[in-house]
């Protein structure tokens, strides 16, 4: 009997045809670069990969592209705009181009809005940018980019984080990822562009959630910040936290923790609060009155009522104007849109648990708006003013004007090849291998609301420390440690401390880092290396060619760490009495200076200390001059042979580079001290920096 055997190619063809009929072939896609996350960083990554000739796909849980940039944050937290280049800057140029069209101005005259938040103001052409925009405009720009570059996008696709089959690893590299809908995506390189860092975590890469202790990286602004009051997000007036004022046994009001806040500087698992950035309008034809949410309970907002009754009226300070009489409305004040303390579980929660947390935030925030506009317990002037506003009908039309993206200010943060810390952001060290720049304030929102020992309520965690100048972001902060994963880059949940992330976490920076991550991924493919082995010199060359800004040397003129000798900036000085921080006048060292607010008081002093090798030093005083300064500032130099007092006229410009004034030469052995006093001062006393320069 002769048994007929099919040729191998026939068998393979039949298997393939059967697979196609079953849907198996279409469920597994292969691309050079697989991006998980449809944020602004995800889109920037995809565009760059396509421009470099690679096949790319975006797979994301999102229905709408752009993350928070298209999700309500239309008032861009940009910092120094000169530090923003590449695809990120291109995005804001495309926004500018949109608003040059007459049809873009439906609810407002273009001339009425003017050149607000454009750079340079009134400029046209390729260099023009616009940094404020309506959410639907941002989303359209992202969709245009996706269409132009023919980038496939799989929306509402969630990474399988539960079954144990969501990721396939092979010799320290990701081979494929699987979604809960059964689709699998294979690739040579992977980019986690989510706000949560789900792919990073599933790949077994180290990460951190919450605030590190200040001791972990030797930082000042990390960990619990009890007693630190920045911005306007704290209780200036004493507000009783109890259901029945003055009676602790009556219970604590909603939105207040009854647990101790922790010790200054210690680490915890708390996160800065989330909220929705809302697009509101006061144009009646386009306004949706604030809806009363299901489950609304006015008692939840009793704390806010007490704050308003106490006289707080800065309610509208963060109704930042967007075109067409709309706003980007953000958290502002002691009780506002931040749902403080209610997001701790979010970073590592399941998809369904996250959706529930998001629903709770939405219910809280909608209830807050309804309460302010309608509750009879709210002062009449507040209710009347709030009732003029509402959600915009022509924004977020699928959800009744409500944003589709919650503001995940931080979740997981990778602990990678290099960890960015406040020392990088504050220009206290050299940052290696720049792939972009940040410049925004070290900014953390509150993480908890607690009861102080005096029995009144207070917020904790809000930080606002200005960076002295644009700083570099290291390539090492985008990549895992060498032994963890060789083909993954993380441009959003970057390797950084909590407080450094407070500055890095801005949307323009995410787009910058997304582009840089994709560039490295493509070079890694071309050179058949791991992401850790990508030649930095080549990476740098390509980034610069593609418009990225990697350094701004001209802004480093007065950086203390680049000066000769030992320079003690006001950030390291000790102050007594009422001093205020300013940067209004140029010619200062590092990020700013202190002034005494023109108060003549011997108790208002600043002390600068340094440990010096035995020897002779010229002592120099830095201050930006102005005609309103004191002409008789008393400065004491405590040296080896005693104390010498100099009188400095700070109305006159310093004679050394316009920055430093010489106080003389003195001998020191060990500790040196310079004391600035406001005693009998006839104007503003400035305390900026002291330089100890070795002298012959």
What domains are there in the chain, each with its CATH number? 560-694 (2.60.120.260)
Residue with structure tokens 């039309």?
397
* Helix (H), strand (E) at residue 633: strand 633-639
Residue 590: per-residue pLDDT: 87
Cis omega (within 30 of 0) for bond into 63: no
**Which residues are CB-contacts of 259 (< 8 A; sequence separation ≥ 6)?**
450
Residue with structure tokens 């316009």?
658
Residue 122: per-residue pLDDT: 60
Asked whether residue 338 carries a pLDDT value surpassing 60, the answer given is yes
- H-state helical runs in 101-217: 110-113, 135-148, 198-202
Least confident of 250-254, 336-340, 588-592, 675-679: 588-592
Residue with structure tokens 């009425």?
112
DSSP three-state, residue 67: coil
- Backbone torsions φ then ψ of 183, nearest 5 degrees: -75, 140
In 275-415, the DSSP E strands lie at: 280-281, 287-288, 319-322, 326-329, 390-392, 412-414
DSSP three-state, residue 97: helix
Q: Which two tokens stand for residue 564?
A: 């000769």
Q: What confidence tier does 557 reach under pLDDT thresholds 50, 70, 90? A: low
Residue with structure tokens 């003017």?
114
pLDDT 10s digits, 191-212:
999 999 999 999 999 999 999 9
DSSP notation for 486-518: SSEE-SSS-SB-HHHHHHHT-HHHHHHHHHHHH
Residue 363: per-residue pLDDT: 98
pLDDT 10s digits, 397-423:
999 999 999 999 999 999 999 999 999
What is each CA distance from 459 to 174, 311, 334, 498, in whole angstroms? 42, 18, 7, 18
**Which residues are CB-contacts of 142 (< 8 A; sequence separation ≥ 6)?**
40, 43, 65, 66, 69, 70, 91
Closest of 317, 221, 332, 201 to residue 273, by C-alpha: 332
pLDDT 10s digits, 260-277:
999 999 999 999 999 999
Mean pLDDT of 42-60: 98
Count CB-CB contacts under 10 A for residue 10: 10
Residue 276: per-residue pLDDT: 98
Mean pLDDT of 117-141: 87
* Helix (H), strand (E) at residue 438: strand 434-438
Asked whether residue 120 carries a pLDDT value surpassing 80, the answer given is no
| 240 within 8 A of 183, measured Cβ to Cβ | no
What is each CA distance from 223 to 277, 313, 464, in whole angstroms? 26, 31, 14
């Amino acid at each position: 009997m002769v048994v007929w055997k099919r040729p191998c190619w026939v068998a393979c063809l039949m298997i393939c045809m059967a697979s196609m009929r079953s849907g198996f072939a279409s469920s597994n896609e292969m691309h050079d670069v697989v991006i998980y996350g449809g944020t602004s960083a995800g889109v920037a990554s995809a565009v760059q990969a396509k421009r470099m000739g690679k096949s790319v796909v975006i797979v994301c849980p999102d229905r709408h592209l752009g993350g928070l940039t298209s999700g309500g944050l239309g008032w861009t937290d940009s910092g120094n705009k000169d530090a923003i280049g590449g695809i990120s800057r291109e995005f804001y140029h495309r926004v500018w181009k949109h608003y040059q069209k007459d049809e873009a101005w439906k609810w407002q005259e273009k001339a009425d809005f003017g050149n607000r938040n454009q750079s340079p103001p009134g400029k046209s052409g390729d260099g023009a940018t616009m940094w404020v925009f309506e959410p639907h405009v941002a989303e359209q720009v992202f969709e245009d980019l996706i269409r132009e570059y023919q980038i496939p996008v799989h929306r509402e696709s969630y990474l399988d984080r539960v079954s144990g089959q969501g990721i396939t690893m092979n010799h320290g590299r990701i081979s494929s990822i699987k979604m809960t809908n059964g689709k699998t995506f294979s690739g040579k390189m992977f980019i986690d562009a989510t706000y949560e860092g789900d792919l990073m975590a599933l790949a077994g890469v180290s990460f951190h959630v919450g605030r590190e202790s200040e001791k972990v990286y030797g930082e000042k602004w990390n960990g619990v910040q009890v007693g630190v009051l920045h911005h306007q997000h704290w209780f200036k007036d004493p507000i009783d936290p109890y259901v029945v004022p003055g009676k602790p046994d009556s219970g604590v009001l909603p939105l207040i923790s009854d647990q101790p806040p922790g010790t200054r500087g210690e680490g915890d698992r708390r996160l800065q609060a989330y909220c929705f950035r809302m697009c509101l309008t006061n144009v009646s034809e386009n306004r949706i009155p604030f809806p009363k949410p299901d489950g609304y309970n006015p008692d939840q907002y009793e704390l806010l009522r007490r704050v308003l009754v106490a006289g707080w009226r800065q309610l509208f300070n963060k109704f930042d104007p967007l075109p067409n009489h709309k706003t980007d409305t953000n958290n502002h004040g002691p009780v506002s849109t931040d749902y403080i303390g209610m997001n701790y579980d979010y970073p590592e929660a399941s998809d369904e648990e996250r959706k529930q947390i998001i629903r709770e935030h939405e219910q809280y925030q909608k209830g807050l708006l309804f309460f302010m506009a309608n509750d009879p317990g709210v002062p009449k002037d507040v209710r009347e003013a709030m009732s003029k506003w509402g959600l915009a009908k022509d924004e977020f039309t699928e959800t009744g004007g409500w944003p589709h993206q919650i503001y995940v200010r931080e979740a997981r943060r990778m602990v990678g090849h290099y960890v960015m810390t406040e020392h990088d952001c504050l220009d206290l060290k050299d940052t290696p291998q720049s792939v972009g720049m940040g410049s925004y304030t070290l900014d953390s929102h509150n993480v908890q609301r607690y009861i102080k020992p005096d029995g009144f309520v207070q917020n904790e965690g809000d930080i606002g420390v200005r960076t002295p100048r644009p700083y570099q972001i290291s390539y090492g902060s985008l990549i895992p440690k060498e032994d963890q994963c060789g083909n993954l880059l993380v441009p959003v949940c970057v390797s950084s401390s909590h407080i450094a992330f407070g500055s890095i976490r801005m949307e323009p920076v995410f787009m910058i880092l997304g582009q840089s991550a994709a560039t490295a991924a493509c070079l890694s493919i071309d050179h058949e290396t791991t992401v850790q082995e990508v030649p930095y010199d080549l990476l740098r060359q390509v980034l610069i060619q593609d418009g990225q800004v990697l350094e701004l040397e001209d802004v480093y003129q007065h950086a203390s760490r680049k000066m000769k000798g030992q320079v003690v900036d006001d950030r390291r000085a000790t102050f007594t009495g009422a001093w205020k921080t300013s940067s209004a006048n140029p010619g200062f060292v590092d990020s700013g200076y202190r002034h005494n607010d023109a108060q003549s008081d011997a108790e208002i002093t600043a002390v600068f200390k340094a440990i010096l090798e035995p020897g002779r030093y010229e002592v120099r005083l830095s201050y930006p001059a102005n005609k309103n300064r004191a002409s008789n500032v008393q400065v004491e130099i405590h040296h080896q042979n005693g104390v010498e007092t100099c009188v400095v006229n700070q109305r006159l410009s310093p004679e050394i580079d316009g920055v430093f004034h010489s106080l003389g030469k003195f001998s020191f052995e060990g500790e040196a001290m310079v004391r600035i006093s406001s005693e009998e001062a006839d104007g503003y006393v400035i305390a900026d920096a002291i330089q100890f320069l070795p002298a012959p």
